[in-house]
Chains A and B, each alone.
Chain A
Amino acid sequence: MPDDQRPSRPVVISVQTLLFHTPIESIERMLDALDNSSRIGLEEGACRGFVVTLGDGSSTRVLSDEDVEALRARCPHVHEIRYHWFAENVGTARGHNEMAALRDDADYLIFSNPDVVVEPRAIWRMLDVFDDPAVGFVEAKQLPIEHPKDFSSGTGLTSWATTAFAMTPSELFTRLEGFDAQTFFMYCDDVDYSWRVREADRTVVYQPAAVVFHDKYLTTDARWQPTNAEVRYSAEASLLMAHKWSRPRLLKRILKMYDASDVPAQRAAAAEFRRRQSKGLLVEPRDPDREIGTFVKYGYAKHRYAL
C-alpha cells in the first residue's frame, strides 16, 4: 500500500478531452457543465484551479481563435481553456499524453470524452474517493447507458476504468508514463492504464454516485450498435491486450477467430497485429503470473449483463 500523501484541498483539476470533428454545440454543453462544476468546487473550497484542455485530432480545426475566446467568456469559473490542434488524428492514448504534458501544475487529471456532460457533484464525489491514498484511478458512472462491468458493492473496486470520464492523480500518471501510445491508438489504452495502476499497488474504483451523461444510443430493440471504427480499433486492441498481458493462448484463439471472420475490420485487425509482430513493434509482455489482467469472455472484467 503506498504511503505517499495526497494533495491537500483545495486542489487543481485539469480536464482534458480529445475533439474529433466535434460539433461546437456539443463542446458548449460539455463546457457549461464543467464551468458549473468548477463554480461548486470553488465555492466549497474543493479546488483552487480548474483548467480544461481541448485537444483537436481533426483534419481541420474544430474551433477558430474567436470560438475559443467565446468559450472562455462563456465559462467564467474555468481558469483556463487551452485549445491545441494536433493537425492529425493522434488517437486517444497519444492525444491524452501530449495534453497532460502541456501543463504540470495540476493535482488531478480528468480524461473526458467530448460528448460528455458532467453532473454538478460528480467531480467532487470522484475527488472524495482519493481520500483513500490506495486509490489510483476513479471512474464515473455513465448515463443513459451504464457500462456493464461489475464492481464491488460498497467499495466500488473494479477491474478497470474507462476514460469516457475518469480521474487520476497527475503524479501517478507521470510516474506510470501515461497511456501506452506505442501499443494503443484508441480503445483499451484505459484498460491497460488501469491494470498498470493496479500493478503499482493502487486500486481502481467505480463510483456510481458520480454521474456523467455520455451521448450514446441503443437501437429500438435495445441493441448496441458500434461504429466501424469502434469494431476495428477494439478488435485491434483485443489482440494487443492479449499479447501485452501474457495471454498467448487467448491471442491465438482471437487471431484464429478474426482470420475466419466475416467482418472486414476484424480481418484487418489480425493483419495489422501480424504486421507489428513481424516488425518487432510490440511491447514486451507483462504480468507473467496473470495476477492483474482479467480476461472474461473477450472482455476485461466480469460483466453484470451483456449489452
Chain B
Amino acid sequence: MSDDFRKYDNEVQPDNKYGHTLDLLQRHLPPGQEGVHLDLACGFGHVAEQIIDRFGLHYVGVDVAETELDAVRARGHEAHVLDLTDPEVGDHLRKVLDGRRLASVTFLDGLEHLGDGSHVLAALGDLLAEHRAVAITSVPNVTHLDVGLTALLGRWDYTEAGLLDITHHQLYSHDSLRRALRRAGLNVLDTHDVVTVRSDQHFPTDHVALSEVTAFSGYLRAVRSKAEPHGYTNQFVWALNAAPPVPGPAYVEPSEQSGDVFLSVIMRTQGRRPQELREALLCLAAQSVQDFEVLIVGHRTEVAEQKSVEQIIAEQPPSLRERIRFERLDRGQRSAPINRGIELARGRYVAIFDDDDLVMGDWVKEFADAEREHGGRLLRCVALRQDAAVDTVLGHPGIRSTSAPKALYNATFSITEHLVTNQSPPIGWVFPRSLCTDFGLRYDDSMTTTEDWEFLLQAAELAGVTDIDRGTAIYRWWDKRESSRTAHPPGEWAQNQREIERRIDARPFLLPAGETRTLRRELSELRTLRKRVELQAARIERLENRKAAQAKRIGQLQRRAARSAAPQQGPERVPLRRRLRPRTRARALLAKVRRG
C-alpha cells in the first residue's frame, strides 16, 4: 500500500477531530436512538467501530474512492461509492438509505476536497430536516495563524496533507464556513474545534514570523487574538441540525464591506439631562453635512427618563428624527451603551457623542472631508473645554457657560504623549468602524474610568491619526454637578491608568512614522536635563562642602577672636610653695635640713 494511500489513515484520538466528533455525537444524539449513521467522504471509516459500539447505530460509509471503501467493507461495514459533487447527490443518498431512518451523519474533512460542495451540503440540510437527524462536520481552518503569518510574508506552501493539503479545492474560514452552511439550511448547534498552537504549517520552525517570542509575531498574534478567536483553530468541528436556508451567493459581494452612511453618532444617555440632550441634538440638526445617523442608547433609564428621551427625539425636525434610533440597555457599566451602539452602527466611521457635548456646524463636514484622503485613519479635530453649570431661569433648567472655551488639549496628536496623559476628549475624534468589526476593538466595560483613553490608544496604534486643524468641538466641564470626574475618586483614576499601562506593556507597541523623532527629541532633552541636573547637583555639593568648611573656619576664628577680646581671667598666680600642702612642705623642709 502506497504512502499516498495512507496519508489520511489517522487513528481516533480523544483530542483529534474524531474524538471531538464522537464527543459532539454523545452530546446531541438522543439516547437509545436507532437507525443509520451516514459517514460522508468516509475514507477508511475510522469512526465506524466507535459509532456502532457507543451509539448502536448502523454504519454506512460513502466515498468516491473505491480502494478505501474496500478497506471499510473488509471490516464488515456497509459502504457505497458516490460522487458528492453530483447535483443529484441528494437522490443518491436517499437510495443508499433505502427508506431506513437516518439518525446521524459525519462529514469529516471532506467538504474542502470537493470542487463544488454546495450540492452535498444542500442534500445534507434536506436529510437532516426530513429525519430530524444531527450531523457533525470537520473542516480545516485556512486562517490558522501559521498560514496567515507566513502568507503575510508571501509564503504559501501546499503540503501532502493538513491545512494546505494539495488536494483541497475550497478553503474555509470560520465565517465563510458558517455562510456556506447557512445557505444549505444547516445550523451550527454546537462546536468542539481542534485547537493547535503549532499546526502542520508551522515550518520552517526557525521562521521569525512563526516564533511565539519574536516582536513581529507577538504583535500580530496580539492583534489577531482581538480580531477573531480562531487563530489557533486547526479544524472546525461542528454539530449541525436543519434550519431554513438563507439564500445568497457562495461568495461575498464587495458592496457588503462598507457602510452607506459616513458617520454613526453614538450618544449614550441616562435620560437625566434632558436640556443637555436637546442642545446636543440641536448641534447635530445644524450640521452643514448631514451624512450621519444617530444612535441614542438609553442606559439604565427609568420609565420617566426613557419617556423624556423619546419625547425629545419625537420633537426633532423630521429630517433628523428619521435618522435617530433609540435603544434601551439595562446592563453593563459606562462602556456598555457605547459597545451596543457600535453593534447597531452602519456608518463607515463612529463618533462617541456624550449627551452634554457641543460641536460646531462643520464638525461632520471636517471629518467627512478628511475621510476622502485619510479614510481608515482616526480623524481628530481640536476639542476645546468650557466650564458650565445648570441655571434655572423662570422654571426652566438651562445651561450657563461659566468660562470662555479654553484650548487645553494638544492641537496635534502624539501617541507617545498620549501614553502619559489623554489629550483627546471623545467628542474630538472619530474612528473607522472597521476597527471594531475587523479588529475586534471594544470599549472595556470593566474599566470604571478612562475607557475612552484605552480605546483611543489601541485605535490610534492600529489606524494612525490624522489631525484636522479646526476647533470643532466643545467638551463641557461641569461646575458643582456630578460627572465621571467627580463620581470616581482620584485613586480609582490612577488605578485604571496603571491598568492601561500594564496592558500596553504586555505586548509590542507599534509607533507611527515620525513618532520616533518625538521620542528621540524627548529622550535627548531628558538626557541633557539629567546631565545638567547632575552637574548642578555636583556644584551644589561642592558649594555645600565649601559652606561647611567656611562655617567651621568662621567658628574657629570667632572663638579665637572671642578669646583675644576677653580680659585675662586666669587663676591667680600662687607661688609653688603655697600651692603644696603643709605636710609636703614639711617633708621638703626636713629633707633640706638633712642635706645640710
Q: A residues engaging B (CB < 8 A)?
A: 25-26, 29, 32-33, 35-36, 40, 115, 117, 119-121, 125, 128-129, 141, 143-146, 148, 151, 153-156, 205-213, 215-222, 304-307
Q: Is B401 an interface residue (CB 8 A)?
A: yes
Q: List 17 A-B contacts (CB under 8 A).
A: A29-B286, A35-B317, A115-B361, A117-B285, A143-B283, A143-B358, A153-B400, A154-B391, A154-B392, A156-B394, A209-B392, A210-B396, A221-B411, A222-B404, A222-B406, A304-B400, A305-B404
- Could you tell me if A146 and B401 are in contact, using CB atoms closer than 8 angstroms? yes
| Complex-state Cα separation, A183 to B130, whole angstroms | 91
**A143 neighbours in B (Cβ, 8 Å):** 279, 282-283, 358
**A210 neighbours in B (Cβ, 8 Å):** 396, 398
**A219 neighbours in B (Cβ, 8 Å):** 471
Contacts A125-B396, A207-B398, A220-B382 given: A25-B288 contact, CB under 8 Å? yes
- Give the residues from 391 to 410 in chain B that come closer than 8 angstroms, CB to CB, to chain A: 391-394, 396-407
Q: Is B319 an interface residue (CB 8 A)?
A: yes
- Could you tell me if B396 and A207 are in contact, using CB atoms closer than 8 angstroms? yes
**A154 neighbours in B (Cβ, 8 Å):** 391-394
**A121 neighbours in B (Cβ, 8 Å):** 278, 315
12 more CB-based (< 8 A) A-B contacts, given A32-B317, A154-B391, A208-B400: A33-B317, A117-B286, A120-B316, A128-B396, A144-B283, A153-B400, A154-B393, A216-B360, A220-B407, A220-B470, A221-B411, A222-B405
**A119 neighbours in B (Cβ, 8 Å):** 278-279, 282
- Could you tell me if B394 and A305 are in contact, using CB atoms closer than 8 angstroms? no
- CB B422 to nearest CB in A, in angstroms, measures 18
4 interchain residue pairs of minimum CB distance:
A208-B398, A209-B396, A209-B398, A213-B286
Question: How many chain B residues have a CB neighbour from A under 8 Å?
Answer: 41
- CB A266 to nearest CB in B, in angstroms, measures 23
Q: Is B200 an interface residue (CB 8 A)?
A: no
- CB A26 to nearest CB in B, in angstroms, measures 8
- Could you tell me if B393 and A155 are in contact, using CB atoms closer than 8 angstroms? yes
Q: Is B445 an interface residue (CB 8 A)?
A: no
- Indicate which residue in A115, A213, A222 contacts B471 across the interface (CB closer than 8 Å): A222
Contacts A119-B278, A129-B394, A209-B393 given: A221-B407 contact, CB under 8 Å? yes
Q: Is B275 an interface residue (CB 8 A)?
A: yes
- Could you tell me if B394 and A145 are in contact, using CB atoms closer than 8 angstroms? no
Contacts A143-B279, A156-B394, A222-B384 given: A213-B285 contact, CB under 8 Å? yes
- Give the residues from 278 to 292 in chain B that come closer than 8 angstroms, CB to CB, to chain A: 278-279, 282-283, 285-286, 288
- CB A98 to nearest CB in B, in angstroms, measures 28
- CB A238 to nearest CB in B, in angstroms, measures 21
- Give the residues from 370 to 399 in chain B that come closer than 8 angstroms, CB to CB, to chain A: 382, 384, 391-394, 396-399
Q: Is B499 an interface residue (CB 8 A)?
A: no
- CB B124 to nearest CB in A, in angstroms, measures 55
- CB B385 to nearest CB in A, in angstroms, measures 9
**B133 neighbours in A (Cβ, 8 Å):** none
- Could you tell me if B279 and A211 are in contact, using CB atoms closer than 8 angstroms? yes
- Could you tell me if B403 and A305 are in contact, using CB atoms closer than 8 angstroms? yes
- CB A200 to nearest CB in B, in angstroms, measures 21
**A125 neighbours in B (Cβ, 8 Å):** 396
Q: Is B154 an interface residue (CB 8 A)?
A: no
- Indicate which residue in A32, A117, A216 contacts B282 across the interface (CB closer than 8 Å): A117
Q: Is B474 an interface residue (CB 8 A)?
A: yes
- CB A89 to nearest CB in B, in angstroms, measures 24
| Complex-state Cα separation, A221 to B275, whole angstroms | 28
- Could you tell me if A144 and B358 are in contact, using CB atoms closer than 8 angstroms? yes
Q: Is B318 an interface residue (CB 8 A)?
A: yes
- Could you tell me if B278 and A211 are in contact, using CB atoms closer than 8 angstroms? yes
**B401 neighbours in A (Cβ, 8 Å):** 146, 148, 304-305
**A213 neighbours in B (Cβ, 8 Å):** 282-283, 285-286, 361
**B444 neighbours in A (Cβ, 8 Å):** none
- Could you tell me if B394 and A155 are in contact, using CB atoms closer than 8 angstroms? yes
Contacts A120-B317, A144-B474 given: A211-B405 contact, CB under 8 Å? no
- CB B268 to nearest CB in A, in angstroms, measures 20
| Complex-state Cα separation, A281 to B391, whole angstroms | 44
- CB B274 to nearest CB in A, in angstroms, measures 10
| Complex-state Cα separation, A119 to B283, whole angstroms | 9
**Closest residue of chain B to A115, judged by CB?**
B361
**Closest residue of chain A to B408, judged by CB?**
A222
**B391, B406, B469, most chain A CB atoms within 10 A:** B391
